[in-house]
Structure 1
Amino acid sequence: MARQILRIQFGSHLYGTSTPSSDFDVKSIFVPDARSILLQRAKRVVNDQRPKAEKEKNYAGEVEEERFSLQRFLELASEGQTVALDVLFAPAWAATEPPAPEWGEIIANRHRLLTRKSAAFIGYARQQANKYGIRGSRVAASRAALKLLADAFSSTDKLATLDVSIRALCDTHEHMALHEDRTPHGQTVILWEVCNRKMPFTASIKNAHDIMKRLVDEYGKRALMAESQQGVDWKALSHAVRVGSQAIELLDTGFVTFPLPNAAHVLEIKQGKLPYQEVAAEIEDLLVRVEAAAARSALPDEPDLEWIDDFVASVYRTEVLGAV
Structure 2
Amino acid sequence: MRGNTGPTFLVTAGGPMTGNIIAKITHGSRLFGTTTEKSDVDIKTVFVPGARDILLGRISTSNRDGTSNVMGKNTSDDTDQDNHDLIKFMRLVEAGSPEGFELLFAPDHAHLVPPSSTWRTLQARSNEFIHADLVPFERLIRKTSTIVQVGEVEEDAARKICTLLYKLMEGTGRKKSVSPHIDDIVAAVGDPKIVRRDVREGRDGTSHDVLAIAHKAVPVDESIGFAFKLANSIATEAAANQARKTLAPEQWKHLSLAVRLSSEMIELLQTGMLTFPRPEREFLYEVKVGNVSMENVKDRLDLLAARIADAKQATSLPLLPNKETFENFVVEAHFDVVAEEFKGFDRSP
Same fold (TM over 0.5): yes
Aligned match of 1:32 = 49
> How high is the sequence identity, in percent, across the aligned residues?
26
Is 2:244 the counterpart of 1:242?
Answer: no
The 1:204–1:247 alpha-carbon spacing in structure 2 relative to 1, beyond 3 Å, is closer
The answer on whether the counterparts of 1:178 and 1:190 sit within 8 Å (CA) in structure 2 is: yes
Query: Normalised by the size of structure 1, how large is the TM-score?
Result: 0.87
State how far apart, in whole Å, the 1-side matches of 2:68 and 2:178 are.
52
Aligned match of 1:134 = 150
Aligned match of 2:284 = 266
Q: Which of 52, 61, 64 pairs up with 1:44? A: 61
After TM superposition, the structure 1 stretch with the greater mean CA deviation from structure 2, 44-53 or 97-106, is 44-53
The answer on whether the counterparts of 2:269 and 2:311 sit within 8 Å (CA) in structure 1 is: yes
Aligned match of 1:289 = 307
Q: Which of 297, 309, 324 pairs up with 2:327? A: 309
* Deviation digits for residues 79-138 of structure 1 (CA, Å, limit 9, x no counterpart): 210001111111111111111110111011101111122222233334444553135553
Aligned match of 2:129 = 113
SS at match of 1:153: helix
After TM superposition, the structure 1 stretch with the greater mean CA deviation from structure 2, 151-160 or 94-103, is 151-160
After TM superposition, the structure 1 stretch with the greater mean CA deviation from structure 2, 149-158 or 228-237, is 149-158
Q: Report how many aligned residue pairs link the two structures.
A: 313
C-alpha displacement of 1:282: 1.8
Aligned match of 1:254 = 272
The answer on whether the counterparts of 2:34 and 2:281 sit within 8 Å (CA) in structure 1 is: yes
Query: Normalised by the size of structure 2, how large is the TM-score?
Result: 0.81
State how far apart, in whole Å, the 2-side matches of 1:76 and 1:137 are.
37
The answer on whether the counterparts of 1:132 and 1:280 sit within 8 Å (CA) in structure 2 is: yes
CA RMSD of aligned residues (A): 2.5
C-alpha displacement of 1:9: 1.0
The answer on whether the counterparts of 2:210 and 2:220 sit within 8 Å (CA) in structure 1 is: yes
State how far apart, in whole Å, the 2-side matches of 1:19 and 1:178 are.
41
State how far apart, in whole Å, the 1-side matches of 2:140 and 2:22 are.
28
Aligned match of 2:213 = 194
SS at match of 1:152: helix
Q: Which of 15, 19, 29 pairs up with 1:12? A: 29
Gaps of 5+ in 1: 182-188
Letter matched to residue 115 of structure 1? H
The 1:139–1:277 alpha-carbon spacing in structure 2 relative to 1, beyond 3 Å, is same
Is 2:104 the counterpart of 1:91?
Answer: no
SS at match of 2:67: coil
The answer on whether the counterparts of 1:244 and 1:287 sit within 8 Å (CA) in structure 2 is: yes
Gaps of 5+ in 2: 1-17, 201-207, 343-349
Q: Which of 228, 234, 237 pairs up with 1:218? A: 237
State how far apart, in whole Å, the 1-side matches of 2:291 and 2:212 are.
35
State how far apart, in whole Å, the 2-side matches of 1:105 and 1:180 are.
38
Aligned match of 2:224 = 205
Letter matched to residue 42 of structure 2? D
Q: Which of 138, 141, 158 pairs up with 1:125? A: 141
Q: Which of 91, 102, 121 pairs up with 1:75? A: 91
The 1:97–1:204 alpha-carbon spacing in structure 2 relative to 1, beyond 3 Å, is closer
State how far apart, in whole Å, the 2-side matches of 1:162 and 1:74 are.
39
Letter matched to residue 284 of structure 2? V
SS at match of 1:255: coil
State how far apart, in whole Å, the 2-side matches of 1:57 and 1:201 are.
39
After TM superposition, the structure 1 stretch with the greater mean CA deviation from structure 2, 281-290 or 103-112, is 281-290
Letter matched to residue 307 of structure 1? T
C-alpha displacement of 1:167: 1.7
The answer on whether the counterparts of 1:139 and 1:219 sit within 8 Å (CA) in structure 2 is: yes
